[in-house]
Amino acid sequence: MLTPLLCRAVDEDKKKEAKSLVNYALKLFLVLVIPFIAGSFVLSKPLLTIFANQEVANAAHLIMPIVAIGILFFGLSIILSEVLFVQMKTKIIFIVLAGAALLNLLLNIVFIYMFRNIIIAALTTFVSYFVAFVFLNSKIQKSFRIKYDSIFILKLVCSAVSIGFALKYLSFLSNNTLWMVMALIAIGIVLYFFLLISFRVLGTKELAFAKECISYIKYRKD
């Protein structure tokens, strides 16, 4: 949904607006993915205990947080790829993503053979996504300056970590049932957005961008 908005801004030669759209997209993505990472650290073991067993949960509970962090860099790479797509630099996208996939394959072959641990597969996937993000970011910064608002990110991390500690405490007081985990997730979402409002994390421009994206999705469905 970012691509059509970005294309329109570029076609109308509104470079400042195009940069703002990308920065808003990055912010909204981080708003969603950072609490997901925090929640995965807290709830991975209870979820694995419910859907598998305690032995599996003890052995593999780190997989979900590692994959969640990998999703962070994968999502960032997708947003940056849309910038290159609008700039007609699709060859760079192909080279970087193909290189990341090849790196992931090679790391899996080497390290899974050496350690024979499923967590290694999650780590190699994370590394490949991170490498793709670093290369895409370095290519884009030369022609399309992207801002990573450190204060904004710090507020998100503090909010997500606070909710993570709260959920960890509540999980000690409850049984590992699916309904209880779902209740913890719902509580975490409510508390997280309460903190976002309290910290004034999202401004009117970010909310306007989110509204425009939602309107575009509804228009496509119609």
Domain span including residue 67: 2-221
DSSP 202: S
Quote the DSSP letter at residue 108. I
Number of structural domains the chain divides into? 1
Say yes or no to pLDDT of 219 above 60: no
> What would the pLDDT profile of 71-96 be if each residue is shown by its tens digit?
999 999 999 999 899 888 899 999 99
Q: Which one is predicted more confidently, 57 or 42?
A: 42
Is 211 a residue whose pLDDT tops 80? no
DSSP 8-state assignment for residue 62: T
Helix (H) or strand (E) holding 26, with range, is: helix 15-51
> Which residues are CB-neighbours of 84 under 8 A, at least 6 positions away?
90, 92, 93, 136, 139, 140
At 14 the pLDDT is 79
Q: What is the residue whose two structure tokens read 């996208």?
A: 93
Catalogue the E-assigned strands of 129-218.
Answer: none
Phi-psi region of 199 (alpha: psi -120 to 50; beta: other; left: phi over 0): alpha
Q: What is the pLDDT of residues 30-47, one digit of tens each?
A: 999 999 999 999 999 888
pLDDT, residue 112, reads 80
Q: Is the pLDDT of residue 222 over 80?
A: no
